[in-house]
Amino acid sequence: LGLLGLLSQPLFMGGFTLLITVEATLSWRSRRRRDAESRTRVLFSRSRVAMICLAACLPFVACMLLGAMLPSTDFDVKEYHLQGPKEYFLAGRIHFLPHNVYTSFPFLTEMLSLAGMVVYGDWYFGALVGKTVLMVFAPITALAVYAIARRLTDQPSSGWFAALAYLSTPWAYRISIIAYTEGAMCCYVALALLAWLIFQDR
């Protein structure tokens, strides 16, 4: 859409609404085919270890969320991670920026920041929205790490400890409050490993 010059707020809002509606419908239909309560008991045990680890994870996630809402001060973020999407937004389309060689890198997570700008209708607050969306990769990665550890050890407690270890790692916090790509990369690597483990069990 960006290459076609279709960075339109109504178009993006309509697209997001359609995707959310379709996903909600599919999830609802899928849930009707299984016992949701028993599945929840299988995935997440209510043991003391689980409660302690979950409580320990919450402050880290809260700090990540609050930090992601702050304006960026990092050079890389200001120079191209958010500057590129800003220029695309102001131009109304994605185009080559000869004065900024960094924007010729593959821009994947940066498109989430651009989407935030388009939906919000402002490049500054849209960039903060994009940063906050990127922060969500951290808890998703923690869930993937939980699933991997539990699948490998067949022990729920090991999954909780693994998730806590990831969320409490200083670098995980660092990449969650700035608009870098490493958070998304960690997430997709973990999800790819989890998908491979699930495939191996079939």
Residue 34: the pLDDT is 63
Give the integer Cα–Cα distance in Å for 72 and 67: 9
Nearest by Cα to 82 from 15, 182, 181 = 181
Interval 74-98: pLDDT, tens = 888 988 899 999 999 998 888 898 9
Domain boundary assignment for the chain: 9-201
Residue 182: the pLDDT is 92
Q: Is 137 exposed, middle or buried (0-12, 13-18, 19+ CB in 10 A)?
A: buried
Residues 140-162, mean pLDDT to the nearest whole number: 92
Residues 1-6, mean pLDDT to the nearest whole number: 67
Is residue 157 within 8 Å of residue 151, measured between CB atoms?
no
Q: Does the predicted model carry a pTM greater than 0.85?
A: no
DSSP string, 10-63: HHHHHHHHHHHHHHHHHHHHHHHTS-HHHHHHHHS---HHHHHHHHHHHHHHHH
Locus of tokens 């490049």: 123
Is residue 81 within 8 Å of residue 180, measured between CB atoms?
yes
Task: Give per-residue burial for 53-92: e unless 16+ CB within 10 Å, then b.
Answer: beeebeebbeebbebbeeebeeeebeebbbbbbbbbbeee
Q: Tell whether the model's pLDDT for residue 68 goes beyond 70.
A: yes
Hey, is 98 helix, strand or coil? coil
Residues 30-51, mean pLDDT to the nearest whole number: 64
Q: Which of the four pLDDT bands, split at 50, 70 and 90, describes residue 8?
A: confident
In this structure, what token pair is assigned to residue 91?
């131009």
Interval 134-150: pLDDT, tens = 999 999 999 999 999 99
Give the integer Cα–Cα distance in Å for 159 and 68: 26
Q: Which of the four pLDDT bands, split at 50, 70 and 90, describes residue 45?
A: low
Is residue 139 within 8 Å of residue 61, measured between CB atoms?
yes
Give the integer Cα–Cα distance in Å for 146 and 153: 11
CA 19 to chain CA centroid, Å, is 17
